[in-house]
Amino acid sequence: MAFLVLIALTGLILNHADGLGLSRTPAASWLIGLYGVELPSVDSAFDAGDVQFATSAATLYANGQAIAKGVSPLTGAVEAGGVVVAATQDEIFVADPMGVLIERYAADVPIRRIGSSEQRIVVSDGESIREFDAQAMNLVAIDDALVPNITWSRAGAPNAEQARQIGLTTLGQALNWERVLLDIHSGRILPGLGRWLADLTALALLYMCGTGIVLWTRRRNPR
């Protein structure tokens, strides 16, 4: 009976999945654990001030919180001029000191690395140095001699808890509530056992329908 009620409720909710936005809502982390899948790994990580930037499955994270999607692995991150800046090969992301995304800039040159010099943000394409203006959101070619003592960003590594949180969030974006409810409805959320429960419920319903017809027929045709 409990499983039958569960199937009925999940079926009703799934009929309104689009209106409820279930396909756009990531599932809870404790539900993800029921699937027993390996968490996605962190592709790259860099520290900038009190913010740690990391990428996993084409998503950019700041201190474990997703702030941008559709990104490539990081090439560096720095803190300068009151902002923190993370760079990939083709984009620059400007955030506040807490890691909240302010702006996203598409670079017109490949960014091999990013660094700072006296509160100035500089990037290198492997051949020349350019300064990034976080206010005007542009890259300007400059003479290397004008930016002495550049401190280039170096790769870091998230701690175990941050890596786990990033993995759960990344997996949760692919595993939304609509998918979870579909798996509950079919019994697939519990590998092996769930399908058997669904099969037993279906057989029980067929048994009830069959015996119901027999009882109804006997009442109409008493001996």
Domain ranges of the chain: 2-38+174-210, 44-158
The pLDDT value recorded for residue 209 is 87
* Mean pLDDT computed over every residue of the chain: 83
Q: Which parts of the chain are beta strand (E)? A: 44-48, 51-56, 59-62, 65-69, 74-80, 83-88, 91-95, 101-106, 113-117, 120-124, 129-133, 138-141, 151-152
pLDDT tens digits for the chain (223 residues)?
A: 777 777 788 888 888 878 887 776 766 666 666 666 667 788 899 999 899 999 988 899 998 888 999 999 999 999 988 899 999 999 999 999 999 999 999 998 999 999 998 888 999 988 889 999 988 889 988 877 777 788 999 998 887 777 877 877 777 666 777 777 777 777 666 666 767 777 777 788 888 888 888 888 887 766 6
Expressed in angstroms, the distance from the first to the final Cα of the chain is 33
Give the three-state DSSP class for 179.
Answer: helix
